[in-house]
Structure 1
Amino acid sequence: MARSRIAVAGASGLIGGALVRSLVTDGCEVVRLVRREPRGADEVRWDPEGGRVDTAGLAGCDAVVNLAGAGVGDRRWSEAYKVRIRSSRVHGTTALAEAVATLEPRPRVFVNGSAIGFYGDTGARAVDESAPAGEGFLSALCEEWEAAAAPAREAGVRTVLVRTGLVVARGGGAWGRLFPLFRAGLGGRLGDGSQYWSFVALHDEVAAIRHLLDRDDLSGPFNLTAPQPVTNREVTAAMGRVLHRPTPFAVPAPVLRAVLGEMAGDVLGSARVLPARLLESGFRFAFPEIDGAIRAAL
């Protein structure tokens, strides 16, 4: 989609920022959605919680990508923060999808963020995009989040839902917190370490989104996870290998529950998620294994 005009919500985030850099490098014109007053022609004002978008600023866009939302792992889940997590995603997606549906001409594609939290705790059972939603706060959130994209789809715009796993990157997300701990020799498994972590290298995350933007025949949900999920125990060992640090520590499950509250259920929960549709579409991962993904992040 070189030399296209693409709007990106969440452009200041870990994934959004990397996507914008990739698009600009390839000559695309990127329009960033911002909550403040725009500072240039490449910015459009929006209010995701309030459900408002400056639709005129999206005119002429070939694609709209929505990666915005309050950080799920940024803080303990108080009831108030859970409301913020939900409203930033559901209301923001609704506003963008409705805006996309009213544009003339309409964009060719609407890519909307989601997460593998959709599947809930899968234990050791591997799941792909054919699996139903699981249980719990994140599962319910992802269902509602994805459903909010319906106005774009119903208006005939190709709509893609990207269910992202744990992104391996230094600049944020789960690994943004893990790297300093492991570098200091304080890293270790969480709980008994048997829970599966479905990871994806930041490079592959961006490449997969670009792949989905470019392919006019692809729509619906896609798992953005590496094809070989690993357990938390295996992640711990890989971090030790790559960083050449001991990993003697373990955080017991009761301590995690005391510190993290309800969010501990997702840290200790297992998500063995496979990118079946992405692989079927011909996408090839540059970093399919955990050691390579960690090295790429460094």
Structure 2
Amino acid sequence: MKILVTGGTGFIGKALLPHFNHEHLVVLSRNPNRAYQQLGHHIKVITCLDELPDFNDIDVVINLAGEPIVNKRWSDRQKEVICQSRWDITRKLVEKIKASTNPPHTFISGSAVGIYGDQKSASFDESLEVNNADFAHLVCRKWEEEALAAQSEKTRVCLLRTGIVLAKQGGALARMLPAYQLGLGGPIGSGEQYFPWIHMQDMVKGILFLLKHPEASGAYNFTAPNPVTNKEFSQTLARVLHRPHILKTPAWLLKMGLGESSTLLLDSQRALPGRLQEQGFHFSFPKLEHALEETLS
């Protein structure tokens, strides 16, 4: 099987690619030297999709590329970077898929639970349809629309609506750890907003599950089956680290510091992985405390 991956040197990509050691891997990267150093020399690195005349000999495309959405304040310029880093590469991949006479049989493309917007305390699965003007929703909706254009009798499309991925190296948890290790951690805002999370091992395992099940297509929530509030998450993290849990960050301070991007931390998404579980996927880490203990051990 030949697999093309975008975002292979990113947070999830670096965890996923070692599981394809015996596959023929092609990775799209702007920095080939870094890609080879991080991923090994058994892969082929391309810097532009035009280096592939077509996708006729590609079996699977996994699209994980995209500017991190939480690293910087959302200026107009940064919003443009966030959007185009997702939409443009997805559109180009779809064009290549549609132009191939023997296209890849599977296209797995990223998205996020941000597509659902703020749902307060209501739980929901992939059947929830939302249409609002939130930036995160608009980014994800257009991202998914671009990817779904590849759907055909020859190509199935799976969308990864990802929550907060837990791993020690990188992602939201790595940014939170220093404060918690100093005993300065605590809930954000009211703490009542739901925090959809997933262990990195289940993230990778879920992608492999979709690859192995040709009947799988459409949107999938990549979130653990037991979402918790931000307060519960914060208390559990402090307990696992054996640190005090006495401080909190007021919403007004977060909004002042982060502006519009503070919605990523203050919005509530009690997202459930309905379709993954219905199709037989079993989570290795369904409960938060076990997930954090394993991650931080």
Assess same fold via TM > 0.5. yes
Task: For residues 202-247 of structure 1, give each alpha carbon's deviation from its aligned partner in whole angstroms, at most 9, with x where no partner exists.
Answer: 0000000000011100000000000010000000111011111112
Secondary structure of 1:218's partner? coil
Secondary structure of 2:107's partner? strand
TM-superposed deviation, 1:187: 0.9
Match of 2:45 in 1: 43
Tell whether 2:180 aligns with 1:182: yes
Match of 1:49 in 2: none
Distance in 1, matches of 2:68 and 2:160, equals: 16
Alignment of 1:1-298 (within 5 A): 4-24=1-21, 27-36=22-31, 42-46=44-48, 53-56=50-53, 58-135=55-132, 136-154=134-152, 156-298=154-296
Return 254-263 or 92-101, whichever deviates more: 92-101
TM-superposed deviation, 1:54: 3.1
Question: Is the 8 Å Cα contact of residues 55 and 103 (structure 2) preserved in structure 1?
Answer: no
Give the letter for the 1:63 counterpart.
V
Secondary structure of 1:101's partner? helix
Give the letter for the 2:30 counterpart.
R
Distance in 2, matches of 1:82 and 1:29, equals: 35
Question: Is the 8 Å Cα contact of residues 115 and 165 (structure 1) preserved in structure 2?
Answer: yes
Provide the identity percentage: 38
User: TM-score w.r.t. structure 1 length?
Assistant: 0.92
Question: Is the 8 Å Cα contact of residues 55 and 102 (structure 2) preserved in structure 1?
Answer: no
Over 3 Å counting, the alpha-carbon distance change for 1:143 and 1:81 in structure 2 is same
TM-superposed deviation, 1:53: 4.2
Task: For residues 30-60 of structure 1, give each alpha carbon's deviation from its aligned partner in whole angstroms, at most 9, with x where no partner exists.
Answer: 21111246888711222xxxxx643337552
Question: Is the 8 Å Cα contact of residues 193 and 267 (structure 2) preserved in structure 1?
Answer: yes
Distance in 2, matches of 1:184 and 1:172, equals: 19
Secondary structure of 2:142's partner? helix
Give the letter for the 1:114 counterpart.
S
Question: Is the 8 Å Cα contact of residues 73 and 173 (structure 1) preserved in structure 2?
Answer: no
Give the letter for the 1:113 counterpart.
G
> Unmatched 5+ residue regions in structure 1?
47-51
Question: Is the 8 Å Cα contact of residues 32 and 47 (structure 2) preserved in structure 1?
Answer: yes
Question: Is the 8 Å Cα contact of residues 54 and 100 (structure 2) preserved in structure 1?
Answer: no
Distance in 1, matches of 2:154 and 2:130, equals: 25
Question: Is the 8 Å Cα contact of residues 53 and 99 (structure 1) preserved in structure 2?
Answer: no
Distance in 2, matches of 1:97 and 1:65, equals: 12
Distance in 2, matches of 1:54 and 1:150, equals: 24
Secondary structure of 1:148's partner? helix
Question: Is the 8 Å Cα contact of residues 67 and 113 (structure 1) preserved in structure 2?
Answer: yes
Question: Is the 8 Å Cα contact of residues 44 and 57 (structure 1) preserved in structure 2?
Answer: no
Between the two proteins, the alignment pairs up a number of residues equal to 288
Distance in 2, matches of 1:31 and 1:67, equals: 13
Distance in 1, matches of 2:60 and 2:158, equals: 11
Distance in 2, matches of 1:53 and 1:249, equals: 52
Distance in 2, matches of 1:99 and 1:36, equals: 22
User: TM-score w.r.t. structure 2 length?
Assistant: 0.93
